[in-house]
A and B are shown apart, each in its own frame.
Chain A
Amino acid sequence: MIAMLWMYVKAFAVGGLICMIGEALLLKTQLTSARILVGYVTAGVILGALGLYKPLIDFAGAGATVPLTGFGYMLAHGAIEGLENEGLLGAFTGGVRAGAGGIAAAVFFGYLAALIFKPKMKG
Chain B
Amino acid sequence: MQDAKNRKEAQRYAELVARLAPKSEMGQGMARAFLVGGLICVLGQMLTDFFSMRMRFGAQSAATATSICLIFLSALLTGLGLYDRIGKFAGAGSIVPITGFANSVVAPAMEFRREGLVMGVGAKMFSLAGPVLVYGIGSSIIVGLIAFALEVIG
A binds B: yes
By a beta-carbon cutoff of 8 Å, the part of chain A in contact with chain B is: 4, 7-8, 11-20, 22-28, 33-34, 36-38, 40-42, 44-46, 48-49, 60-63, 65-68, 70-72, 74-76, 78-80, 82-83, 87-88, 90-92, 94-96, 98-99, 101-103, 105-107, 109-120
A/B interface sample: 26 pairs, CB < 8 A = A11-B42, A12-B42, A15-B40, A19-B33, A19-B37, A19-B90, A19-B95, A20-B33, A22-B95, A23-B33, A26-B92, A27-B91, A28-B26, A45-B140, A62-B44, A62-B47, A66-B67, A68-B97, A91-B141, A95-B137, A103-B133, A107-B125, A110-B106, A113-B79, A117-B81, A119-B111
Nearest chain B CB to A51 CB, angstrom units = 11
The answer to whether A114 and B45 touch across the interface, beta carbons within 8 angstroms, is no
Residues of B within 8 A of A118 (CB): 110
Asked if residues A101 and B41 are in contact (CB atoms below 8 Å), the reply is no
Given contacts A16-B38, A62-B41, A113-B110, contact A101 B97 (CB under 8 A): no
Does A65 lie within 8 Å of B48, measured CB to CB?
Answer: yes
Interface size on B, residues (CB 8 A): 79
Interface string of B77-111 (1 = CB under 8 A from A): 01111001000001111011111111011100111
Max chain A C-beta neighbours (<10 A), residue from B104, B105, B113, B125: B105
Q: Do residues A105 and B68 form an inter-chain contact, with CB atoms below 8 A?
A: yes
User: C-beta contact mask, B19-56 vs A, less than 8 Å → 1, else 0?
Assistant: 00000001001111111111111111111110000000
Q: Which of B65, B81, B151 contacts A101 (CB 8 A)?
A: B65
In the bound complex, what is the Cα–Cα distance between A62 and B56 (angstroms)?
Answer: 17
User: Of residues B26, B65, B111, B147, which shows the largest number of chain A Cβ atoms within 10 Å of its Cβ?
Assistant: B147
- Select one of A24, A25, A37 contacting B104, CB under 8 A: A37
Please state if B35 and A66 are interface contacts (CB–CB under 8 Å).
no
Tell me, yes or no, whether B139 is within 8 Å of chain A by CB: yes
- Nearest CB of B to A6, in Å: 11
Closest residue on chain A to residue B48 by CB atoms: A62
CB distance from A53 to the nearest CB of B (A): 12
Contacts of A106 in B (CB 8 A): 71, 75, 101-102, 105-106, 129
Are B136 and A109 in contact (CB-based, < 8 A)? no
Complex Cα gap A27–B104 (Å):
19
Q: Is the CB of B30 within 8 A of A99?
A: no
Q: Evaluate contact between B70 and A66: CB separation under 8 angstroms.
A: yes
Select which of B45, B109, B139, B145 is within 8 A of A63 by beta carbon: B45
A38 CB to nearest chain B CB (Å): 5
Q: When the two chains form the complex, which single residue of A18, A65, A105, A112 contacts B37, counting CB atoms closer than 8 Å?
A: A18
